[in-house]
Amino acid sequence: MPASPAPFSPRARPLLAALASVSALATVSASLALALVGPAPSGAAAKPVELDPALKTLLASGNLRDFDGACATAVEQGDGPLLRLLQQRLLGLHPAPQPLAVMFANAEVLLRCEAPDGALQVLARISPAAGAERIQWLVMQWRAAQAGLNHQVAANALRRLAAGNLAQLESLELPVSRRQDGTAVTRSALDLLAGHLESLGQRQRAAEVLLSGTQPGAVNAARLAQAVALFDGLPAVEQDRLLELALEQAATAGAWGLVGQILDQQLALGQGIPERTERAAERRLRLSRGIDDAYAEWLLGRTAELERQLRSPRSPGGHAPKSFSDPQP
Q: What is the pLDDT of residues 251-262, one digit of tens each?
A: 889 888 898 888
pLDDT value at residue 23 = 40
Contact 192, 175 (CB under 8 A): no
Alpha helices in 130-235 (DSSP H): 132-147, 151-162, 189-199, 203-211, 218-230
Greater model confidence, 292 or 209: 209
For residues 316-328, give the mean pLDDT: 50
Contact 25, 59 (CB under 8 A): yes
pLDDT value at residue 229 = 95
pLDDT value at residue 313 = 55
Greater model confidence, 184 or 283: 184
Predicted TM-score of the model (pTM): 0.71
- Cα distances from 107 to residues 90, 98, 114, 218, in angstroms, run 9, 12, 11, 37
Q: Show contacts of 210-219: CB within 8 Å, 24+ apart.
A: 211/242, 212/166, 212/167, 212/170, 213/167, 213/170, 214/167, 214/170, 215/170, 215/171, 216/249, 216/252, 217/249, 217/252, 217/253, 218/249, 218/250, 218/253, 218/255, 218/258, 219/188
pLDDT value at residue 325 = 45
Contact 209, 196 (CB under 8 A): no
User: What are 53-112's pLDDT values in tens digits?
Assistant: 888 888 888 899 999 999 999 999 999 999 999 999 999 999 888 899 999 999 999 999
User: What are 212-238's pLDDT values in tens digits?
Assistant: 998 889 999 999 999 999 998 889 889
pLDDT band at 180, cuts 50/70/90? Answer: confident
Contact 209, 215 (CB under 8 A): no
Q: Which residue(s) pair with 187 in the sheet?
A: 174
- Cα distances from 299 to residues 217, 286, 315, in angstroms, run 27, 20, 24
User: What are 190-213's pLDDT values in tens digits?
Assistant: 999 999 999 999 999 999 999 999
Instruction: Look at residue 295 and tell me whether its pLDDT is greater than 60.
Output: no
pLDDT value at residue 128 = 92
Contact 122, 95 (CB under 8 A): no
Q: Which residue(s) pair with 145 in the sheet?
A: none
Contact 155, 146 (CB under 8 A): no
pLDDT band at 304, cuts 50/70/90? Answer: low
User: What are 11-70's pLDDT values in tens digits?
Assistant: 433 333 333 343 444 444 444 443 433 444 444 444 444 568 888 888 888 899 999 999
3-class SS of residue 217: coil
Instruction: Look at residue 154 and tell me whether its pLDDT is greater than 80.
Output: yes
pLDDT value at residue 163 = 92
pLDDT band at 307, cuts 50/70/90? Answer: low
Radius of gyration of the chain (CA): 32
pLDDT value at residue 302 = 59
Alpha helices in the chain (DSSP H): 13-37, 53-61, 64-77, 80-91, 100-112, 116-123, 132-147, 151-162, 189-199, 203-211, 218-230, 236-252, 256-269, 274-309
pLDDT value at residue 195 = 97
Q: What one-letter code names the amino acid at 266?
A: Q
Mean per-residue pLDDT over the chain, rounded: 79
